[in-house]
A and B are shown apart, each in its own frame.
Chain A
C-alpha cells in the first residue's frame, strides 16, 4: 500500500523528521509528565504550552482494536481494498493510540491484543510514516 504523501507542518515537523530517522517520538508534557498524541499546541491535561517536549518511545505496542475497510474515500488506496485498519496502544501508555494497516497481517485475521513493533514505511512523496507489525 502506498499512502498519500505527507507535508510536515510546524506542529508535527519533529514527529515526521524523527520518522525519517526511523524513530518514533511523541509529545510529552514535562510539567505534568503526561504523553500526548496527536500533537497539539498545549498539554490537554494542564494546559501548558511551554513544557511540551518530544520523547522517543521504545516502539512497541499492542493491537487494541481493528476494522476492515472495504470502501474508502482515498483514491490512492482503492486498489488495496479491502485492508485492515487497526488501532495500536503504545507500550509506555495504553492511552496513546496510533493507526496501522498492519503490514503482513492477513485481512480480517487480526490478533487483537498481540504485541506489535513499529516499522517505517515510505509514503508517496518519500516521507516515512510509522507503521506497526506483528514480529516474526
Chain B
C-alpha cells in the first residue's frame, strides 16, 4: 500500500494495568455518526464500493455533527477493509470503477483497501486536514487512536472511519486451504491447514471447556441469541434490519447445523459490506455542535498471548479480567457505574468472556449463561448487548460503538434503553485475547 500516513504508535494504546486514570478523561467527545447502506457482498458498481460507502459515512458524520467540512482537521482510519476476501491479483480493477474516482497510485484504493490520501482526493470539501493516522484492526482501534489524538491535541475535529469490502466466495476456502502442501510453521499452528479448524474453532473449544467447568450447556445461549437479533432488527442501519428482517427464535438457533461443535451456524459471524464514521472533537468544541456530546472517559487495550497453539480458558479469563480492570482504571469508574454494555459478540460464544471479565452487574466467571436466562432486554434493568452486535446486524465490529453513542445521545430510536437511564456504556473488542475498549458517558465526569 502506498501511503504517507503512519500507523498509530503502540504508545497511543493503554495496554497495561497500573496506568491510572486516562489523562484526557472527559475531554474528548463523539458527536456525529454516519453509516453507509449495508450489503452482503459488493455488486461491482462504483457507488457501492467500500470507497463510496466510506465517503457516504464520512459525509453523514460531518453533516450530523453540524460542522462545516473545512473545520475537519484530522482523519483516523483502518486501512485494511477485507472481510477475508482479497481482490484477485490477476484481475484488473473494472474501468468504470477506476473512472468514477480520483485514484491514488494504488489501483485497489477505494476498492480493496482505504487510505487517507484516497479519501482526501475524493472528498474535495476536506480542505483543512493536517493529521492522518492509520489504526490497524477494527473500529475499536480507530476510536482509541482518535480519542488519544484529540486528547493529545494532534487534531481537534477528527473523523474516525472503518469500512469493509466483501467479495464473492467463502473466506478462508481458497489460498492455503486448497494447497497440496503448506509451510511447516503454518502446519503446526494455527489449526486451519492440516487440522481443518474453521474460524470459530478456537472459540468453540473455549466455550466447550467453559461449559464443562461450570456445568453449562450450548442451549443456554438461545435467549442471548434471540435478544441480540431482536435488538439488531431495531437497528435500521444494520444488515439484518435492511435485508433479512427475521427474528431468531430459540428453535431456529438450536436446530441450526454445526460448524465446529459446540459452535453452530448462528454462533459464527456473517461478513458484510458497510462503512461507519464518527466525528470526534474536544469537549469544548462539542458544545457548539448539532448533537449532544458523548464524552469518552477512558480507553483500554488487550494484547493477550497464548503460551501454546491456542488460548486456554484459564488464559482467556486472566486476560478478560485484566482488561476489565484496565477499563475501569482508565475511566475512573467501577462496574456499578455501567448503565449498559456493548462488548463484541462475533463469535457469539465469547461475549460471556468479555462481560464476566468486566464483572458486569456483579457477574463472576461462570455466571453469564445463567444471567442470559433472566431479563436481558433493552426494557429491563440489566440490558445485554443493546446494539445486537454481530448477531443482530452483521459483522462490522462497529454497531456496538454506534449504539453506545446513540443510546447516550437519546437517538437509539426503537432500540432505546428504557429499563436503565443510559449514562455510561462500554464497548469494544473484538477478541477476548486482543482488542480495544472505550467507556462513553453522558457527562464529562
A8's partner among B178, B184, B261, B305 (CB-CB below 8 A) is B184
Supposing A68-B261, A97-B309 touch, asked if A74 and B181 sit within 8 A by C-beta, the answer is: no
0 or 1 for each of A30-73: is its CB under 8 Å from B? (1 = yes): 00000001110000100000000000000000001111111111
Interface residues on A, range: 35 or more
- Whether A69 lies near B182 (C-beta < 8 A) is no
Inter-chain CA distance A129–B186, complex, in Å, is 13
| Chain A residue at minimum C-beta to C-beta distance from B257 | A70
How far, in Å, is B171 (CB) from chain A's closest CB? 8
Tell me, yes or no, whether A95 is within 8 Å of chain B by CB.
Answer: yes
- Whether A87 lies near B185 (C-beta < 8 A) is no
How far, in Å, is B417 (CB) from chain A's closest CB? 36
- Whether A38 lies near B261 (C-beta < 8 A) is no
- Whether A7 lies near B178 (C-beta < 8 A) is no
For residue A85, which residues in chain B have a CB less than 8 angstroms away from its CB?
191, 195-197, 201, 260
Q: Which of B202-210, B362-370, B373-381, B403-411 contacts A (4 or more CB under 8 A)?
A: B202-210
Inter-chain CA distance A133–B135, complex, in Å, is 45
Supposing A67-B204, A67-B205, A67-B261 touch, asked if A74 and B196 sit within 8 A by C-beta, the answer is: yes
- Whether B181 lies near A6 (C-beta < 8 A) is yes
| Chain B residue at minimum C-beta to C-beta distance from A130 | B188
Inter-chain CA distance A65–B205, complex, in Å, is 7
- Whether A3 lies near B194 (C-beta < 8 A) is yes
How far, in Å, is A74 (CB) from chain B's closest CB? 5
B182's partner among A7, A70, A87 (CB-CB below 8 A) is A7
Inter-chain CA distance A108–B310, complex, in Å, is 20
Tell me, yes or no, whether B198 is within 8 Å of chain A by CB.
Answer: yes
Inter-chain CA distance A9–B183, complex, in Å, is 6
For residue B182, which residues in chain A have a CB less than 8 angstroms away from its CB?
4-7
For residue B258, which residues in chain A have a CB less than 8 angstroms away from its CB?
68, 70-71, 82
- Whether A15 lies near B198 (C-beta < 8 A) is no
B185's partner among A5, A11, A97 (CB-CB below 8 A) is A11
How far, in Å, is B215 (CB) from chain A's closest CB? 14
| Chain A residue at minimum C-beta to C-beta distance from B182 | A4
- Whether B188 lies near A15 (C-beta < 8 A) is yes
For residue A123, which residues in chain B have a CB less than 8 angstroms away from its CB?
181, 194
For residue B178, which residues in chain A have a CB less than 8 angstroms away from its CB?
74-75
| Chain B residue at minimum C-beta to C-beta distance from A124 | B180
| Chain A residue at minimum C-beta to C-beta distance from B192 | A73
For residue B185, which residues in chain A have a CB less than 8 angstroms away from its CB?
9, 11-12, 38-39
Contact residues of A with B, CB < 8 Å? Answer: 3-9, 11-13, 15-16, 37-39, 44, 64-77, 82-83, 85, 87, 95-99, 101, 108, 112, 123-125, 127, 129
Q: Could you list some 22 contacts between A and B, CB below 8 A?
A: A4-B179, A4-B181, A5-B182, A6-B184, A7-B182, A9-B185, A66-B208, A67-B260, A68-B258, A69-B201, A71-B259, A72-B196, A73-B172, A73-B198, A74-B193, A74-B196, A75-B178, A83-B196, A85-B195, A97-B310, A97-B312, A125-B180
